[in-house]
């Protein structure tokens, strides 16, 4: 009872103290926070519009791309490849192509028309005609078709110059990915001078197509054979392949440079084939000469190390020598002791790809070239007459 009495005496005293402390102050009512959905909305300030100069510049870029598409798409065709199956025909593949002149010549990839017994070409205006194969080159993956179409329906594309291309330059691809006709994608040139294995397997290994253009413009199955264009609407390449683990675009596409087209297509139109010069050597491309220089005791860190020489070729007749013993490099056997080619006609060679590119670009069958080689530490020039691949 004493405890309760003390409490009763204490309460008035506490209240009196509080009254003194809070005298002259306004007490605020105690309330619980409102739920978030009852709170007033935040004050939103819309962003300031972009300056007219910026918008105008972007609109000009859009207009440029739209103009290129309007000018180029009538020249891009959809190609269907059919194979005979008894009395009927079955579709075995499709791709793209483009008109290059007023005579009805169409360029596409050789792999698009491979194994085809007949071809149908569809134009942007809906015209569908049969096509004849004039020639194909599996090494460059190029082929030429011809169609019988009135000249007024043909809109040839202008050919550019792939030697002037630069990494970072914007490019446009037009084709028929997955059969979706007239599709346009935009990107940049990601790299130049790539080497891409051809579809051809030889006794000495695969032939690699040199000077390939790499682009991040979306290229998918069905784009093969379509044009890669610059911002002037000129053809700078022929879209040919993608590198992907899924079978669809992964940002790495490849195109045959238009200067390769300029060199090979006239021969395909005239005689149906192209004659490649052939040196007759093999080289181990698993390693660069820089990687082999120390373990093999090579005097320089560039060039082409000859591992073998094919009998009956220009290289064999000129006396070039391949490797005569094996050395283990990074756990792999490398053929050593062969000639080291460091230049051709005075053009310094960094790698085997450089040699192939020079032979394809600058030489022809029957031409004599001068190889600068290092043999047993001695520098010498060796003349070689090129044969035919």
What's 378's domain CATH number? 2.30.42.10
238 and 301 both lie in a single domain:
no
Domain membership of residue 19 (yes or no) is no
110 and 170 both lie in a single domain:
no
Q: What is the 3-state secondary structure (H, E, C) of 182-251?
A: CEEEEEEEEEEEEEEEEEEEECCEEEEEEEEEEECCCCCCCCCCCEEECCCCCEEEEEEEECCCCCCCCC
> What pLDDT was estimated at residue 45?
79
Parallel/antiparallel/unpaired status of strands 281-282 and 277-278: unpaired
Closest CA to 382 of 367, 283, 373: 373
> What pLDDT was estimated at residue 94?
93
Q: How far apart, in whole angstroms, are the C-alpha atoms of residue 134 and residue 104?
A: 11
Q: Residue 178: which domain range?
A: 162-271
Residue 80 tokens, joined: 């269907």
Whether the predicted pLDDT of 262 surpasses 90? yes
Q: What is the 3-state secondary structure (H, E, C) of the chain?
A: CHHHHHHHHHHHHHHHHHHHHCCCCCCCCCCCCCCHHHCCCCCCCCCCCCCHHHHHHHHHHHHHHHHHHHHHHHHEEEEEEEEEECCEEEEEEEEEEEECCCCCEEEECHHHHCCCCEEEEECCCCCEEEEEEEEEECCCCEEEEEECCCHHHCCCCCECCHHHCCCCCEEEEEECHHHCCCEEEEEEEEEEEEEEEEEEEECCEEEEEEEEEEECCCCCCCCCCCEEECCCCCEEEEEEEECCCCCCCCCCEEEEEHHHHHHHHHHHHHHCCCCCEECCEECCCCCCHHHHHHHHCCCCCCCEECCEECCCCHHHHCCCCCCCEEEEECCEEEEECCCEEEEECCEECCCHHHHHHHHHHHCCCCCEEEEEEEECCEEEEEEEECEEC
369 and 309 both lie in a single domain:
yes
Domain boundary (251, 271, 291) is at 271
Domain boundary (237, 271, 305) is at 271
149 and 176 both lie in a single domain:
no
* pTM given for the model: 0.80
Whether the predicted pLDDT of 285 surpasses 90? no
Handedness of CA 186, 192, 193, 195 (dihedral sign): negative
Max CA-CA distance within the chain? 128
Domain membership of residue 1 (yes or no) is no
Poorest-confidence range of 148-162, 202-216, 308-322, 326-340? 202-216
CATH code of the domain covering residue 258: 2.40.10.10
Domain membership of residue 25 (yes or no) is no
> What pLDDT was estimated at residue 251?
78
281 and 365 both lie in a single domain:
yes
262 and 363 both lie in a single domain:
no
Q: How far apart, in whole angstroms, are the C-alpha atoms of residue 145 and residue 10?
A: 109
Express each pLDDT in 113-134 by its tens digit: 998 999 999 999 999 999 999 9
346 and 285 both lie in a single domain:
yes
Domain membership of residue 312 (yes or no) is yes
178 and 260 both lie in a single domain:
yes
Please give the tally of structural domains in the chain.
3
> What pLDDT was estimated at residue 241?
77
199 and 257 both lie in a single domain:
yes
| pLDDT-derived band at 204, boundaries 50, 70, 90 | very low
| pLDDT-derived band at 18, boundaries 50, 70, 90 | very low
> What pLDDT was estimated at residue 389?
84
| pLDDT-derived band at 39, boundaries 50, 70, 90 | low
Q: Cite the active site residues.
A: 111, 141, 224
Domain membership of residue 218 (yes or no) is yes
| pLDDT-derived band at 201, boundaries 50, 70, 90 | very low
> What pLDDT was estimated at residue 172?
96
Beta bridge partners of 83: 90
Domain membership of residue 234 (yes or no) is yes
Closest CA to 109 of 122, 124, 128, 93: 93
Asked whether 222 and 177 are in contact (CB, 8 A), the reply is yes
Domain membership of residue 37 (yes or no) is no
In order of 72, 256, 284, the CA distances from 162 in angstroms are 18, 9, 29
Asked whether 304 and 349 are in contact (CB, 8 A), the reply is yes
**Percent share of the chain, pLDDT over 70:** 85
| pLDDT-derived band at 28, boundaries 50, 70, 90 | very low
Domain boundary (116, 136, 153) is at 153
| Averaged pLDDT for residues 337-349 | 97
| pLDDT-derived band at 328, boundaries 50, 70, 90 | very high
Q: How far apart, in whole angstroms, are the C-alpha atoms of residue 260 and residue 194?
A: 14
Domain membership of residue 347 (yes or no) is yes
């Amino acid at each position: 009872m004493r405890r309760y009495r003390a409490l009763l005496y204490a309460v008035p005293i506490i209240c009196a103290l509080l009254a003194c402390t809070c005298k002259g102050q306004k007490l605020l009512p105690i309330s619980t926070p409102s739920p978030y959905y009852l709170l007033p909305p935040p004050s939103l300030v819309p962003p300031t519009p972009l300056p007219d100069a910026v918008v105008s510049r972007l609109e000009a870029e859009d207009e440029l791309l739209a103009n290129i598409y309007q000018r180029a798409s009538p020249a891009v065709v959809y190609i269907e490849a059919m194979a005979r199956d008894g009395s009927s025909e079955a579709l075995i593949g499709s791709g793209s192509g483009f008109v290059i002149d007023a005579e009805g010549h169409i360029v596409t990839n050789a792999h698009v028309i491979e194994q085809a017994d007949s071809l149908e070409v569809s134009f942007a205006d809906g015209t569908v005609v049969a096509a004849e194969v004039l020639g194909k080159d599996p090494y460059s993956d190029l082929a030429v078709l011809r169609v019988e179409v009135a000249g007024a329906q043909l809109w040839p594309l202008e050919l550019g110059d792939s030697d002037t291309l630069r990494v970072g330059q914007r490019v446009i691809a037009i084709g028929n990915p997955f059969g979706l006709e007239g599709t346009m994608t935009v990107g940049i040139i990601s790299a130049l001078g790539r080497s891409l294995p051809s579809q051809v397997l030889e006794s000495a290994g695969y032939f690699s197509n040199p000077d390939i253009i790499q682009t991040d413009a979306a290229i998918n199955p069905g784009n093969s054979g379509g044009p890669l264009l610059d911002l002037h609407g000129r053809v700078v390449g022929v879209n040919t392949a993608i590198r992907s683990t899924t079978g669809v675009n992964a940002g790495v596409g490849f195109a045959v440079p238009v200067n390769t087209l300029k060199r090979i297509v006239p021969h395909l139109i005239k005689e149906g084939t192209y004659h490649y010069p052939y040196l007759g050597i093999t080289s181990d491309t698993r390693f660069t000469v820089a990687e082999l220089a120390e373990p093999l005791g090579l005097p320089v860190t560039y060039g082409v190390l000859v591992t073998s020489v094919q009998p009956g070729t220009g290289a064999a007749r000129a006396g070039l020598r391949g490797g005569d013993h094996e050395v283990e490099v990074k756990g792999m056997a490398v053929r050593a002791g062969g000639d080291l080619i460091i230049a051709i006609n005075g053009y310094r060679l960094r790698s085997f790809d450089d040699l192939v590119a020079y032979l394809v670009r600058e030489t022809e069958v029957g031409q004599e070239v001068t190889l600068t080689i290092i043999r047993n530490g001695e520098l010498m020039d060796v003349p070689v007459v090129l044969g035919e691949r």
